[in-house]
Amino acid sequence: MVSIIIFILILSILVLIHELGHFIMAKRAGIGVEEFGFGLPPRAWGKKIKGTIYSLNWLPFGGFVRLVGEDPTDKNKNEKNSFYVKSILQRTGVVVAGVVMNLLLAVIIFYFVIFALGFKVVVPRIIDYNFAATTQSQHAVVFSASKNPDLIDSGELILRLDNKKVENSNEIYDLIKSSEGKLFEIELENSNENYAKKTTQVSFLPQPYILSVVKDSVAEKAGIKDNDVLVSIDGEIIATTEELINRIRSSEGKELTIVLYNLSDNQKREVKAVPSVDANGKVALGIEIGEILMVSDHMITRQTAFDNKIEGISVGDAYKLTYQNPSEKILSGFTHSYNILAYSMKVFGQLIGYSIREKDVTLVSEGVSGPVGIAQVTSQAVALGPISVLQLMALLSLNLAFINILPLPALDGGRFFFIIVEAVTRRKVYPSLEKWVHTIGFALLLALTLLITYNDIAKLIR
């Protein structure tokens, strides 16, 4: 419940700040503001002050501004206080003001976050990238932690194993696989709490586990679930994803007895499943598999690890950005906003490029989230603490600014595009044409939002 309230607050603040930008610039330009609303209609309360209705609305998602003459087919479009009759410069100021406000909000939040974290920030390493005006280093980071934060917590950087410096997750796995079950002395740095360091002893055991189960598959019918760790098949201990794949393929469609350990309830159980065989002879259970690290504060072996309660963690790679000298610190809010926006654009650009080359939109669909997906991420951020919530809010504000300035119909960028066309041709675009372009664009954006929301819900169900 708390996560839902925080999600609504974040969304409302971002949209209200955006609309406040339009409102302020419209007032400065002498444009009539018919209504400045908090939330979305239907209206719950409203009061007219100096020609503007200030309203509270029943749907608590953001807000809106209605300007005189904003609709190019409005009968009042030629009035003195109409948006339609104002100069190109004035209309440009009103249109881009929302984007500028979202950018400034992100900068202000990042200043606070970076200061609170001692001018150090961790960013997930998705691609190779050189960030501007900062010192960057690579580290292995714990993305999803055990239920025992005193052992290893989410967001902690793994600096050393047995006093050996490690810089990425591959080095972690190489060291662990060469000494399975060994009790390592591990040095950690918590990126969520002002980068406090700690040293503890941990034993690791890499193990294949279920990322997701295909709906209506053999695995689902057998009772295999997400977050299940594969322990053994037909009494043979499974140590790697390769062993698991080979064991399933070699089954030739015969019944398998599979022992699983679920990380959600810490229970071990046995299921039976007959892998399906398609017309091409391909054998499958209908599972997506990954690798997880089982962890304990005492030595563990594959033979005994799952006899008692044991935890699992997911380890990935990250950049640590450090704003060191005075000039970097003074400009850190602006610099970090630029770095995150540019990095996000490059990542998304590579995802789109990959999807076009491979003719597969899976990665793009997995990387895009609507309201439901953002609400889920907000819940995760809330669990990590207020700094993570603020980081998410700043990131969403940047994304809102970037998306809104794109030259797409119904968005600020689309309206700005028509102003540019007018400036170049010295003629206003035909009002009915502009209205229909924005109307169709809005319908398409609404359809896209519904599609993304459906995809978010489908991911939750899976």
pLDDT digits (tens, 9 = 90+) for 210-254: 988 888 888 899 999 888 999 999 989 888 888 888 888 888 778
State the DSSP string of 374-443.
HHHHHHHHHHH-HHHHHHHHHHHHHHHHHHHHSS-TTSHHHHHHHHHHHHHHSSPPPHHHHHHHHHHHHH
- Residue 361: the pLDDT is 65
Sign of the four-CA dihedral 264, 265, 266, 269: negative
pLDDT of 155 higher than 70:
yes
Residue 305 has what DSSP assignment?
A: G
Fill in the amino acid letter for 384: L
Could you give all domains of the chain from N- to C-terminal order, each with its CATH number?
A: 2-32+68-117+327-461 (no CATH), 135-322 (2.30.42.10)
Report the largest interatomic distance among the alpha carbons of the chain, rounded to a whole angstrom. Answer: 84
> In whole angstroms, what is the distance from residue 439 CA to residue 453 CA?
21
pLDDT of 362 higher than 80:
no
Q: Are 289 and 254 in contact (CB under 8 A)?
A: no
> In whole angstroms, what is the distance from residue 61 CA to residue 54 CA?
16
> In whole angstroms, what is the distance from residue 233 CA to residue 358 CA?
34
Residue where the block lists tokens 């005075």:
326
Q: What are phi and psi of 389, to 5 degrees?
A: -65, -45
User: What are the Cα distances from residue 175, in Å, to 125, 160, 183?
Assistant: 21, 11, 12
Q: Are 335 and 159 in contact (CB under 8 A)?
A: no
**Residues of the chain with pLDDT > 90: what percent?**
48
> In whole angstroms, what is the distance from residue 460 CA to residue 369 CA?
12
- Residue 311: the pLDDT is 83
Listed in sequence order, the residues at least 6 apart from 118 whose beta carbon sits closer than 8 Å to its beta carbon are: 194, 195
Tens of pLDDT along 52-63?
999 999 987 778
> Band of the pLDDT at 366, cuts 50, 70, 90?
low
Residue where the block lists tokens 């809104």:
404
Q: Are 65 and 49 in contact (CB under 8 A)?
A: no
Does this model's pTM top 0.85? My answer is yes
